[in-house]
């Protein structure tokens, strides 16, 4: 099967590439390398350095003629979106339209769109189901909601099979230690380097953290199931940021208190996902519990010599 992965040199995308190689896919990766790295990819996987907004993407898709596109390329930093909403919308909305147009003109059967729980805004109730109203608090959430709407329009008007995966807080090896989404990477990096991790706000915010291998499994399941569906990809389990820090500190074996900083603009206070639809329709369920995922991520960091405990 021919598969194109946008953002495939990034954190989640590179894990998907590895899984795809094991499954025997013929893969092309499109990535502008603004956050991704060629070092994340096997040498035999072709990497095309390209911005997804580039019109040349349509020629690339037409030449390769993939069966499926996994669209993960995005601007993912909430704070950056608040600072520069034009750039955020340009990448996440216009870039997604370019991918969808390329898919339609290139004969692609299915597009699997990586979205975010940021589309929900502050929930009315927990856990949050896919039918919850969309009330994003940040330009990032707005752009992801708009990208979803365009994907559904292309599906309805062009016969493109679209599956939308709304990620919880994804974590694991290769995650950059930046932004609210990278809180686990930030905590572990600071603990490894002898620094004091910073908790933004009071630390009582609650989140749903999902390990990257489970997200990759959801993408794999969505290749054959769930046409036209929208699915939450999380664990359904809540933990506070303070509780998360306690777990991270235990995994690292470091007794160090965090610092506290101001809340981040656009951050959601409470988020836990209802994942029953993905279980029922995709046959997917999370396999990696948070303590195990933290231990795997810490081991990966230590193997690569990123800092030292103290």
- Catalytic residue numbers read 140
Distance CA(288)–CA(294), nearest Å, equals 10
Contact of 127 with 98, CB cutoff 8 Å: no
Residues 158/218, Cβ–Cβ less than 8 Å: no
CA–CA dist 244, 45 (Å, integer):
36
Contact 231, 163 (CB under 8 A): yes
For residue 269, give Cα distances in angstroms to 84, 87, 140, 160, 205: 22, 25, 16, 35, 5
Cα–Cα–Cα angle for 140, 145, 149, rounded to 5 degrees: 145
CA dist 270 and 162 (Å) reads 28
Dihedral sign, CA of 172, 174, 180, 186?
positive
- For residue 135, what are the CA distances in angstroms to 79, 118, 146, 149, 281? 18, 9, 12, 14, 25
> DSSP per residue over 147-170, as a string?
HHHHHHHHHHHH--EEEEEEE-EE
Q: Which of 67, 52, 63 is nearest to 3 (CA)?
A: 67
């Amino acid at each position: 099967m021919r598969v194109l992965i946008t953002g495939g040199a990034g954190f989640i995308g590179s894990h998907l590439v590895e899984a795809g190689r094991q499954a025997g896919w013929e893969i092309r990766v499109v990535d502008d390398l603004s956050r991704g790295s060629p070092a994340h990819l096997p040498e035999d996987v072709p990497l095309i350095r390209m911005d997804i907004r580039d019109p040349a993407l349509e020629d690339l898709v037409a030449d390769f003629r993939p069966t499926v596109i996994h669209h993960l390329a995005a601007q993912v930093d909430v704070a950056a979106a608040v600072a520069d909403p034009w750039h955020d919308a340009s990448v996440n909305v216009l870039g997604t339209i370019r991918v969808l147009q390329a898919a339609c003109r290139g004969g692609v059967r299915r597009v699997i769109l990586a979205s975010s729980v940021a589309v929900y805004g502050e929930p009315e109730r927990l856990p949050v189901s896919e039918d919850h109203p969309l009330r994003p608090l940040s330009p990032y959430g707005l752009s992801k909601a708009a990208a979803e709407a365009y994907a559904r329009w292309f599906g309805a008007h062009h016969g493109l099979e679209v599956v939308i995966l709304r990620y919880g807080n994804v974590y694991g090896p290769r995650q950059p230690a930046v932004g609210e989404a990278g809180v686990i990477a930030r905590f572990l990096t600071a603990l490894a380097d002898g620094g004091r991790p910073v908790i933004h706000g009071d630390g009582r915010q609650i989140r749903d953290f999902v390990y990257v291998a489970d997200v990759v499994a959801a993408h794999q399941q969505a290749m054959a199931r769930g046409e036209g569906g929208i699915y939450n990809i999380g664990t359904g389990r809540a933990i506070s940021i303070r509780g998360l820090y306690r777990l991270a500190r235990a995994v690292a074996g470091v007794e160090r208190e965090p610092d506290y900083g101001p809340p981040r603009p656009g951050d959601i206070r409470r988020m836990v996902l209802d994942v029953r639809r993905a279980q029922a329709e995709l046959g997917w369920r999370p396999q990696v519990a948070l303590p195990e995922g933290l231990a795997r991520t810490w081991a990966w960091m230590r193997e690569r010599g990123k800092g030292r405990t103290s």
